[in-house]
Every structure is written in C-alpha cells, then in structure tokens.
Amino acid sequence: LMTARSRVVLDRREGTAASRSGVLWFSKREERRLGEFSTVVLDLEKDSDGDPTYPLRLEGRSDVSFDLQGGADSADQRRLAEEVAAFLDLPLTDRSSGTEVVRQPEHLDESLRDTARREGSGDTPVHRPPGMLSQVSEASDRVEIRIPPPGLGLEGWAQVVGGLLFAGVAIVFFARPVLSLPVPEDFRWVVLLIFGLLIVGPLLGVARTVWRHTRCGVLVTADATRLAVKGRGRRRELPADAIEELLVVGRDGRPLLQMLPDGSAQLNTDELPPDDLAHRMRRGPDGKPVVGPKLAAFLRWIERMMPGPEVVARSDRGELRFGKSLPPQEVRYLHAVVKAVLTR
C-alpha cells in the first residue's frame, strides 16, 4: 500500500520545473519556469535528531527556490547535484561541506590538479608554524604526516562520563538492591550475570573511547597518484585524479574569548544575549558582552576542548578528513603542503 508519493520533473524543452507530492488521494502540484533559477544548490542542514541532511534545490534571485530532493548520503546527493547542474547547464553551489564552493557546469567533474593548472595560480605560501604537534616528512613528490592522538576532548569526556554514570546507576540502584533480597543462590547468580553484562558493556565502551582518543594517531600520505589516511586500524584512500576539492572546513580558529586584565573576558560574537539578560551584562570597549572571571575560565576550558577546523578531500567516490585535533594554523599549513603535492 503506497500512502505517500512525490515526483519532480525538469523539462528543458518546455522550460519548466514541476513537482507533485501527496498522501493518499490528496496531492499538491508546483510548477516554476526554469528561467527563474540561476544555480543548483546542495546545502547542509540538520534534521530533528541532529543528523546531517543534504537538501538539493534550485535557487534564483529574490529568494526564489524550488526543492528537488533531500537525502542523508552526501556522496549520492553530490552526484545527483552534478547531474542536475549538467542537465540544466547551471552552476553548482555546494555548501554540503560547511564551506561554499561554486563550480561552473563545464568544470563539474574537474579534478583538483586540472583546476590548479587551468587557473594557473598557486596558493599563497604558508610558513611552517612553530610548535607543531604533527610530524611532517616531505620529499620532492611525496609527503607523510603523522598526527598524534587527539586526547579525550569534549566529545570523549562526554562519552566517558556517560558510560561511567550508566554503570554506576546500574550498580547502586538496581544490582545492589536486587542482590540484597532473600532469594535462592542460583537466582542470585543469574541476576548477577545479567547485571554484569549490562555493566561491562558501558565500561568496555569507556575503555575503547579512552584507547581511541589517547593511543590512536593518524598517518596521512600524499603523492601524485593518491591521498591516503590511516587511523584507528582503518585505511582509506582516494586517487589524486579523482579529488575535486581540498578544503579547510570547520571553526575558523578565531578565539571565542578576548581576555581582559581583570580576568574577565569579552565574547567575540555578534549575537547578543536575550533582551532580559543583555541589560544586566557589562560591555567591553566595542560593546560586546563581558563575562566574569569564573565563567571566563570555564569557557576557556570548553574552548580548548572544542574541535577546530580540519582538511577535507572530496570526490564523487567519497571524502577523507584529517587534522581536526590540531591548531588552526597547523591545519592550514598541512592543507597547503598536501595540495602542493596533489596538484603537481
């Protein structure tokens, strides 16, 4: 029994984009002229569970848009977006990585190397930052990067604390009261086995998280033929000729706080608190909110735990990521080194 249906038709001969969707016998139809649109957009959004989705739509001037299809698989949506852009001979505006990249219809499948050769301009030289955490070995046609384990960080600590809390609650509020009841010895051992399995699972998860974040580094190798990333017992690679984009995505590295002489800190944000709090907050020299020393110290600890930017290599076959645990200046340096090797 099909209770819901949807359909999108792009007709170049008629110059129309039409969609029909409905539930049971109720349906809705929308039709627009293709001339209203100037680009195909692949966006990045979050669903109700916080998982990424990649809606595809046509956009034009004056906020004109036409939804095509959404999906949770970035590679499938990217391939579909390129097919639509090529079919309509429109530029593709790709925001699915978090960084906007615009590709003209004649260059949709162009590799990173071919783009560099066509544009004929090299990247601005990036100097090796002092105090690097990673180890970089460069040769004439190859680079090898060893990135140390990232440490627990905010995400790791959340997983560790959650696992320990679950095990503690199971022991204190369930296992101990049940085992203290006057029950036969055989039944007591059965209960102990069941609760043991429930407790051992989260504890093993905690141990696995600690091991992954404190013992597993990443090895990145790049040459004229491929880019490979090996970490946590897994190796993935992309052919150099298939890589279309090499980006630095994520937090731009701008400090969230600007410390003041008295230990307080100014928030480096253009978003002000709600009106009921704004009038009670002290303002810094440029009018931005200021928090007290204790809250500033806590926010600095949170900021150090937050992941920074990372390097992302993308192609129609998938993507590779590395460098998320490194300082922003180091990530930009690694991006420049890898790009120089891949575009030779």
Whole-number pLDDT of residue 1: 35
Query: Is 60 exceeded by the pLDDT of residue 127?
Result: yes
Whole-number pLDDT of residue 270: 53
Whole-number pLDDT of residue 211: 81
**Average predicted confidence (pLDDT) for the chain:** 82
- pLDDT by residue (tens digit) across 130-162? 889 999 998 878 999 999 988 777 677 788 888
When mean pLDDT is compared over 82-96, 162-176, 304-318, the highest value belongs to: 82-96
Q: How far apart are CA 183 and CA 181, in angstroms?
A: 6
Instruction: Label residues 68-103 b or e (16+ Cβ within 10 Å = b).
Output: bbeeeebbebbebbbebbeebebbbbbebbeeeeeb
Whole-number pLDDT of residue 230: 93
Which is more confident, 211 or 323?
A: 323
Q: Measuring CA to CA, which residue among 33, 37, 29 is closest to residue 15?
A: 33
- pLDDT by residue (tens digit) across 93-119? 999 888 888 999 999 889 999 988 888
Q: Which residues pair with 283 in a beta bridge?
A: 289
Whole-number pLDDT of residue 255: 63
Whole-number pLDDT of residue 2: 40
Q: Which two tokens stand for residue 177?
A: 């009261």
**Strand 289-291's sheet: what is its strand order?**
257-259, 265-267, 289-291, 282-283
pLDDT band, very low/low/confident/very high, at 121 (cuts 50, 70, 90):
low
Whole-number pLDDT of residue 304: 67
Whole-number pLDDT of residue 171: 77
pLDDT band, very low/low/confident/very high, at 313 (cuts 50, 70, 90):
very high
Q: How far apart are CA 21 and CA 4, in angstroms?
A: 8
Q: Are 239 and 223 in contact (CB under 8 A)?
A: no
- pLDDT by residue (tens digit) across 193-242? 877 777 888 888 888 888 877 778 899 999 989 999 998 778 999 999 99
Query: Is 70 exceeded by the pLDDT of residue 278?
Result: no
- pLDDT by residue (tens digit) across 1-29? 344 457 888 999 899 988 887 665 667 78
Whole-number pLDDT of residue 269: 61
Whole-number pLDDT of residue 37: 92
What is the arithmetic mean of pLDDT over 170-179?
74
Of 105-114, 182-191, 242-251, the poorest mean pLDDT is in 182-191
- pLDDT by residue (tens digit) across 255-274? 667 777 788 777 766 544 44
Note the helical H segments in the chain.
74-88, 112-119, 153-170, 176-179, 185-215, 275-278, 293-305, 328-342
Residue 97: half-sphere exposure toward Cβ, Cα within 13 Å: 24
**Strand 245-249's sheet: what is its strand order?**
245-249, 310-315, 318-322
Whole-number pLDDT of residue 4: 41
Whole-number pLDDT of residue 258: 75
Q: Which two tokens stand for residue 24?
A: 């049971």
- pLDDT by residue (tens digit) across 283-304? 666 667 787 888 878 777 777 6
Q: What is the DSSP string of 209-226?
A: HHHHHHH--EEEEEESSE
